[in-house]
């Protein structure tokens, strides 16, 4: 009977132009930056963070894989990722929804980039097509198709059982390092088995009625803003129908060519997104990058407003959904991974403020994750490299 509590994490892996993003001052009376002016209509629904980062996470463009894990050393030899925040949440909540989590992406580099990682540090690929997300959420198929799907799930489970048994027979023949790798593999197999069982349990249950028609995916990666808008729409529908409680969205700007579909902008984009991020203070490149950044924030504002427009219990959908949005690059032009541009929106927190920490000795970003977990009712005192909950962030 109580309204569910949810989380979403959004990462733009090229970040924002720093001096356009961060506000002046702190607390409730902070002076918004040019970028934060785009969010003026929802100022009381978010908190802006300054002076935060992931301890030990460097690696330039490789750092986005640690956005929700905090695992140090991405991009180095022998790097092993750890469980991401959304997958930790999914494991704690169990199969209370059809999808324990949704892993979404816009232009996400296939098989290489994702915000979601299993307990054993295995990448969960992004779904890059809004039409496919819609199909999974709302389209059930015929009885024959459902039966075939269940048979496929059972076959997959039997294969996983066989693989698991065979791997155990190798255990005594291996050295310590190989045994550790085999243990990681067995953990991954058990995770797949669990997911197959959960999928089989939901396969015969009816899906929600689709509230809108199936979207049409843009044909080109250059239609970046439209692809992003559709993914925000799918995230809203997934939460609104309680199809999941955890969503990640990777805006892979590093893998995006020239952006061709800016709205409310007279600026012509003539270069690829990545090249623009390395602007070298060139005024023409900065003007193009600012136009793109502003479009990002307008889409984010619209997303928050759309969630706030849905009544759920005694609150609205935004109040029941904590949204972490930011990047693991503080300044893409310099490849720095400190002073990250971060926003926390929604959830049952006191918002309308800026929390400013030491820009020389950054405050650990995973403390925010612990606060989000506790706000969702999940008992957790630590996550990744956290030192506790986030200072200055209070519950409403």
Mean pLDDT value across residues 294-304: 98
- How far apart CA 389 and CA 396 sit, in angstroms, is 15
C-beta separation of 162 from 174 below 8 A: no
Q: Tens digit of pLDDT for each residue in 217-232?
A: 999 999 999 999 999 9
**Choice among 22-26, 91-95, 152-156, 318-322 with the minimum mean pLDDT:** 152-156
Q: Tens digit of pLDDT for each residue in 41-69?
A: 999 999 999 999 999 999 789 999 999 99
Sequence-distant (≥ 6) Cβ neighbours of residue 26 within 8 angstroms: 50, 353, 354, 355, 356
Query: What average pLDDT does the chain have?
Result: 91
Sequence-distant (≥ 6) Cβ neighbours of residue 21 within 8 angstroms: 33, 35, 36, 293, 341
pLDDT above 90 covers a percentage of the chain that reads 77
Q: Tens digit of pLDDT for each residue in 137-196?
A: 998 766 676 566 556 656 665 666 666 667 666 766 778 778 777 776 666 666 666 666
Among 61, 36, 58, residue whose Cα is nearest residue 113: 61
pLDDT above 70 for 1: no
CA angle at 113 for the pair 111 and 118, rounded to the nearest 5°: 80
- How far apart CA 48 and CA 368 sit, in angstroms, is 12
- How far apart CA 319 and CA 267 sit, in angstroms, is 35
């Amino acid at each position: 009977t109580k309204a569910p509590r949810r989380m979403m994490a959004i990462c733009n892996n090229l970040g924002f132009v720093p001096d356009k993003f961060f506000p002046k001052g702190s607390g409730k009376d902070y002076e918004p930056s040019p970028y934060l002016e785009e969010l003026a209509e929802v100022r009381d629904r978010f908190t802006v963070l300054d002076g935060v980062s992931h301890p030990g996470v460097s690696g330039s463009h490789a750092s986005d894989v640690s956005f929700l894990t905090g695992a140090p050393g991405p991009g180095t030899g022998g790097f092993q990722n750890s469980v991401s925040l959304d997958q930790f949440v999914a494991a704690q909540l169990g199969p209370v929804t059809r999808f324990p989590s949704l892993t979404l992406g816009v232009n996400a580099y296939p098989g290489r980039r994702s915000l979601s990682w299993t307990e054993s540090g295995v990448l969960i690929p992004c779904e890059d097509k809004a039409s496919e997300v819609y199909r999974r959420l709302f389209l059930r198929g015929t009885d024959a198709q459902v039966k075939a799907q269940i048979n496929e799930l059972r076959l997959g489970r039997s294969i996983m059982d066989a693989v698991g048994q065979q791997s155990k027979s190798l255990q005594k023949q291996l050295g310590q390092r190989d045994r550790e790798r085999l243990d990681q593999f067995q953990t991954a197999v058990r995770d797949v088995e669990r997911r197959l069982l959960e999928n089989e349990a939901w396969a015969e249950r009816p899906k929600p009625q689709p509230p809108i028609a199936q979207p049409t995916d843009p044909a080109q990666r250059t239609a970046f803003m439209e692809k992003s808008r559709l993914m925000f729409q799918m995230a809203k529908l997934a939460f609104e129908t309680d199809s999941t409680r955890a969503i990640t969205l990777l805006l892979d700007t590093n893998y995006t060519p020239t952006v061709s579909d800016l709205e409310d902008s007279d600026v012509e984009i003539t270069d690829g997104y990545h090249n623009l991020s390395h602007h070298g203070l060139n005024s023409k490149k900065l003007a193009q990058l600012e136009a793109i950044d502003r479009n990002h924030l307008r889409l984010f504002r619209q997303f928050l407003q759309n969630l706030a427009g849905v009544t759920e219990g005694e609150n609205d959908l935004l109040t029941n959904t904590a949204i972490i949005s930011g990047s693991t690059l503080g300044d893409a032009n310099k490849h720095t991974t400190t002073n990250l541009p971060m926003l926390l929106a929604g959830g049952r927190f006191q918002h309308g403020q800026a929390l400013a920490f030491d820009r020389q000795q950054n405050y650990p970003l995973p403390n925010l994750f612990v606060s989000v977990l506790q706000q969702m009712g999940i008992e957790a005192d630590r996550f990744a490299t956290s030192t506790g909950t986030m200072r200055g962030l209070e519950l409403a």
